[in-house]
Amino acid sequence: MSTTVTVRHDWQLDEIEQLLALPFNELLFRAHSLHRQIFNPNEVQISSLLSIKTGSCPEDCSYCPQSAHYNTELEKERLLAVTEVIEAARQAKANGATRFCMGAAWRNPTDKNLDQVIDMIEAVHAEGLETCVTLGMLTAQQASKLKQAGLDYYNHNLDTSPEFYGEIISTRTYEDRLKTLEHVRDADIHVCSGGIVGMGESPTDRAGLLQQLANLPKHPDSVPINMLVQVKGTPLYGQAPLDPIEFVRIVAAARILMPKSHVRLSAGRTEMSESTQALCFFAGANSIFYGEKLLTTDNPTTQTDQALFSKLGIAAQQPKPLQSCQLDKTANSS
């Protein structure tokens, strides 16, 4: 497969809006043709996601059932023990996952929190899985510490466009999010960053989110495209759902704008038909989360995904050999 494609970081908003407005078949043809130049179109990377600390988050993200600002009847949980994480990682690997992602409902981790998560990262690596964490905002020093621990990916979504962001979140600025991504890039950790659609944003806002991601100094290695999962008790509960065809358009545009990134078909798959998901894979989505839970919301069962993959002739992407990492024990104990 040829990889001689143009990668840009100077996309204009009107260019992206025009892309999203193309006739559907034309947009999908462009996205799929580009996708085939770089990736095997019949392979999907599989990740598994575990909530290692649930609930009581001080942020007020309007979509999130883990926010302490809303009554969603979510059972709050302590930080999991390393043994519990290892058990979940082993099960994920047995189900075919190659990457194990861990999420904690924090605004930002304390140094003590970080040391505990580093123990989990090392344990998951020992099971032969790639590692990813999402812990909220990071300082440059914390990002460096995670790199020294051998972390492969850090997830920090931009969520939406800068213009619509204030309608969704007031406790953290857009610049805060961009700064965390900068720290992660500077630490040479792979970036996982995407957004959520179906929150009441305009088509221009969706184009604006894609513009922000595509014009980062380096495209995210993974780009999760989430459909809003409505949770009773959150301000966005009852929001009019986004048309599935519009969702497929966003996936296709993400593939064209960030041709070498893995585009992850992420939250909201339980509400998607098999046909919608199939169109997303054709449009360039080549990563999913496996397992019945995405932190706290429902996800298709592994059996459901395996049945869909069988229908579509899709295989799980084989894991890459993990690079050995010489851990700096002095840094990790500071």
Do 23 and 248 meet the contact criterion of CB atoms below 8 Å apart? Answer: no
Check: CB of residue 267 under 8 Å from CB of residue 227: yes
Buried b / exposed e over 117-141, threshold 16 CB at 10 Å, is bbebbbbbbeeebbbbbbbbbbeee
Q: What's the CA gap between 157 and 48, in Å, rounded? A: 17
- Residue pair 216/190 in contact (Cβ under 8 Å)? The answer is no
> Active site residue: 30, 101, 177, 280, which one?
101
- 177, 192, 269, 280: the catalytic one is 192
Q: Of 30, 57, 206, 280, which one is the catalytic site residue?
A: 57
Whether 280 is catalytic is no
Whether 325 sits among the annotated catalytic residues: the reply is: no
For residues 18 and 195, what is the distance between their CA atoms, to the nearest angstrom? Answer: 20
Give the active site residue among 99, 177, 264, 269: 264
Q: Which of 99, 132, 249, 269 is catalytic?
A: 132
Q: Is 57 part of the annotated catalytic residue set?
A: yes
Which residues, at least 6 apart from 245, have a Cβ–Cβ distance to it below 8 Å? 24
Catalytic residue selected from 61, 172, 206, 249: 61
What does the alpha-carbon distance between residue 93 and residue 164 come to, in Å, rounded to a whole number? 38
| Tokens at 34, concatenated | 């580009």
Residue reference for tokens 């840094």:
331
The 8-class DSSP code of residue 57 comes to: B
Give dist(CA 147, CA 28) in Å, integer: 37
Residues identified as active-site? 57, 61, 64, 101, 132, 192, 264
